[in-house]
Every structure is written in C-alpha cells, then in structure tokens.
Amino acid sequence: MIRRRGTAPGTELTQAVRRAGYGATVIPTAKTTLTVADMGCSGCPEKVQAALNRVSGVRGVRMTSRTEAIVYYDRRRVSTAQLVQTVKRCGFTALCQG
C-alpha cells in the first residue's frame, strides 16, 4: 500500500513501484474535521484519537486542539457518521465539519 504524500502524482508513484517489481494500488484518502465537545481533561483528546485510529478504514488522526480532530480515511470503508458515532461512544459530542 502506498500512502500518497508529497508532490508526485499517485499514478507516477504506482508506476515506479511496479517497475521495481512490486504491486501497488493508490487508495484515495478523504479528509474531514470533527469538532469534539465535552473533553474536560488533557487525556481526553488522546482517548478520542486512539478510538478513531482503531476504526477500520481510518488512515490517521491528528488532534489540532482539545476540540478538533482531523481524520484521514478511506470513504469506501468508513463514513463520517461512523466517525461521529465512534467519538460519541467515547462519551463526547462530535460534529463533522466536512
């Protein structure tokens, strides 16, 4: 699996890996921002981040503040509604900003 980073187009990366004799597929990654409320302690963002990272299809989570999480995910495998539900199961309120 190649995670697209930097400036090289996904097809260019895929071709380079294939020329090297390996299989490669570019997995499109979507990005959404979740606003999370009710986090009262410094450990709360870590709890939310860990829970989101355990969701199948989530590629990564970055907590930008105590109230905001940027989630990179495969929209073929997980929906924003599932991401919000995951946060709610942790005991917090979440809204998807898009």
Report how many domains make up the chain: 1
64 falls within a domain: yes
Amino acid, single-letter form, for residue 26: V
Residue 89 domain-assigned (yes or no): yes
In-domain check, residue 83: yes
Return the sign of the alpha-carbon dihedral for residues 67, 71, 75, 76.
Answer: negative
Q: Answer yes or no: are the C-beta atoms of 24 and 11 closer than 8 Å.
A: no
Give 32-64 pLDDT, tens digit per residue: 999 999 988 889 999 999 999 999 999 999 998
Range scoring the smallest mean pLDDT among 9-13, 16-20, 59-63, 92-96: 9-13
Do residues 48 and 87 lie in contact, with contact meaning Cβ atoms separated by under 8 Å? Answer: yes
Is position 41 within any domain? yes
Left if phi > 0, otherwise alpha if psi is -120 to 50, otherwise beta: which for 38? left
CATH assignment of the domain containing 63: 3.30.70.100
Q: How confident is the model at residue 1 (pLDDT cuts 50, 70, 90)?
A: very low
In this prediction, residue 66 carries a pLDDT of: 85
pLDDT of residue 4 exceeding 70, the answer is: no
Average pLDDT on 53-80 reads: 94
| pTM of the shown model | 0.75
Residue 4 resides in a domain: no
